[in-house]
Structures are given as structure tokens and as C-alpha cells.
Amino acid sequence: MSTSLRLRAAIVSIVLFVAFLGIWQLATRGTAPAANMSPEYAKLMGATATQGASAMPGPIEVGAKLWEHVRRPFYDNGPNDKGLGIQLGYSIARVSLGYLLAVVIAIPLGFLIGMSPLVSRALDPFIQILKPISPLAWMPLALYTIKDSGLSAIFVIFICSVWPMLINTSFGVASVRKEWINVARTLEVGTIRRAFTVILPAAAPTILTGMRISIGIAWLVIVAAEMLVGGTGIGYFVWNEWNNLSITNVIIAIVLIGLVGMLLDQVLARVTRLVTFPE
């Protein structure tokens, strides 16, 4: 039953994908070649103007280009042109740094906030205001104060991914069932031991959920940040290809960004399942 459901779902997925490719191909067929254009003039013009080719590439074009990238992911043609593998590596390294920094700060801080209703109430308005700020809004401030674009990008990832973790950790800690804490208290368990053996395991699923939301945000932010600071990374790649109006490469980058984002999310989903417990 379950396998047949899975099989049927897979078939529907494939059918949807093929239908999507078909519609895409049809939609980007373009029009007839432009009539009465002198050959000398046509030589100076692009395919959009001469062949009536659509400005949007079709799936075949994208596939061919993707194959080209997959075949040489690590080429290095100088500071402004590197292979997609290298670009993704830079982006993942930046995300990891900013994200780990956020974990190191948000989880202990969230713990403290969650254990004290007073601090929790006092800090709440600040967190609520800082949480919805876009990474692009932080960027000029970071560039101006930190005076280093690489660090600024990491800072922006940090500042955007810290809030969901902070909120979830404090929420998870605050909503540990009162009975468990009371039992620990009756058994005269010390504060630190109580934090590590009772509260942490109980709050772990909520904390991990926060971390999972955060990694998604961090990955969203990196593209925007790299488009601004430039130099390296998948966001820079998107910007550089956009400069050349190469929509084909932009689509490839979009697909890759989606894939890597999904992978990061899946890793944390696995970890979440490890710490989940039945009640």
C-alpha cells in the first residue's frame, strides 16, 4: 500500500515535471526571423533581434549549459570568473560561519531568556522589531561599520539567522512541562544539572526546529548578500551572469541554490528526528 502510494506519487511528479518542460519549451519558441534586415546589420545584432529568438532560454538550452558547468565545476579563470563548484563552496563556507556564530550565541542566550519570564518579557519587543528586518537593510550599516565586505556578509547571515533560533530556544525552554521540573526539584537536582539533563532534552526538538528555520533563512540571505558585496559565491555568480543578461546561467544558479538549500534543510531534519521523543 505504502510502496504503491510512493510509486504513484513518483509517477505524478515525473509527469508534472515533463509537462512543465514541455510548456516551457513551447513558451520559449520565439517568433520568425526578422524580415528585411541587411546581413551587415544582422551581424551586429543579437539572436533576439535577428532570429526572433525568445529572450527566455528553453529547457534544452539550459540543460546543455548545465552539462557544461557540471563537467568543469572547479575551473578558475581569475578573480572574477570561477567554476560553480568553487562559487558554491564559498557560499556554503560563508553560511556555515555566520550560522555557527548564530548558534553559539542564540542557544545559550535563548536558554537564559526562556528560564526567566522577566527577561523574556523585557527582551521581547526588541526581538520582535529586529526579527523581520531584511538582510539588504543591514548591509549598508554593516559595510559602513565593519569596513570589510567579507565580514559584513557573514555578519548579515548571523543577524538574520539568530532570531528564529533565539525565539524557538526560549519558547522551548519556557514550555518544558512543569511536572518534570517539579520532579527534578523534589529530587534536589542542582540548577546546572537540571538545565542539561531535564530542560535541554525536553526543549531539543523545539530548538532544532528553530535551527532548521534559521538555516533556510541563512541560505536565502547569502544570495542577496553576495549579489551586493560581490567577488565570490553563488550570489555573485547570479549577478555576474545577469550583467551579461545570460538568463540561462541565472536559471542554472536558481536550480542549484534550490538543491543546496534542500540538502541543508534535510540534514537538519535528520538531526531533529534524532532528538525527537514520544511523550
Partner 1 sequence: MAIFDDPFDAERNLRPACICGQHRSAAEHDRASHSLRCEPAEDRRYEGVVASALVRAVFPRDAARRAFLKSVGASTALAVLSQFFPLKTATEAFADTGTPEKKDLKVGFIPITCATPIIMGAPLGFYAKHGLNVEVVKTAGWAVIRDKTINKEYDASHMLAPMPIAISLGLGAQPIPFVVPAIENINGQGITLAMKHKDRRDPKDWKGMKFAIPFDYSMHNYLLRYYLAEHGLDPDTDVQLRSVPPPEMVANLRAENIDGFLAPDNICQRAIYDGVGFLHVLSKDIWDGHPCCSFAASREFITTAPNSFAALTRAIVDATAYASKAENRKLIAEAIAPANYINAPVTVLEQVLTGTYADGLGGIKTDPKRVDFDPFPWQSFAVWMLTQMKRWGQVKGDVDYKAIAEQVYLATDTKKLMQEMGLTPPASSYKTFSVMGKTFDPDKPDDYLASFKIRKAS
Interface with partner 1 by CB under 8 A: which residues? 37-38, 40-41, 43-46, 48-49, 55, 77-81, 140, 143-144, 147-149, 227-231, 239-245
- Burial of residue 59 (number of CB atoms within 10 Å: 0-12, 13-18, 19+): middle
Q: Which is nearer to partner 1, 34 or 271 (CB)?
A: 34
Q: Which is nearer to partner 1, 24 or 242 (CB)?
A: 242
Kindly state the cell numbers that stand for 183.
520532579
Q: Please report where in the chains the cell 533563512 appears, as a residue.
A: 217
Q: What is the nearest approach in angstroms of partner 1 to the Cβ of residue 242?
A: 6
Distance CA 242, CA 91 (A): 18
Q: What is the nearest approach in angstroms of partner 1 to the Cβ of residue 31?
A: 11
Q: What is the nearest approach in angstroms of partner 1 to the Cβ of residue 244?
A: 4
Q: What is the nearest approach in angstroms of partner 1 to the Cβ of residue 160?
A: 19
Distance CA 182, CA 152 (A): 45
Distance CA 217, CA 164 (A): 9
Give the three-class secondary structure for 82: strand
Distance CA 242, CA 253 (A): 11
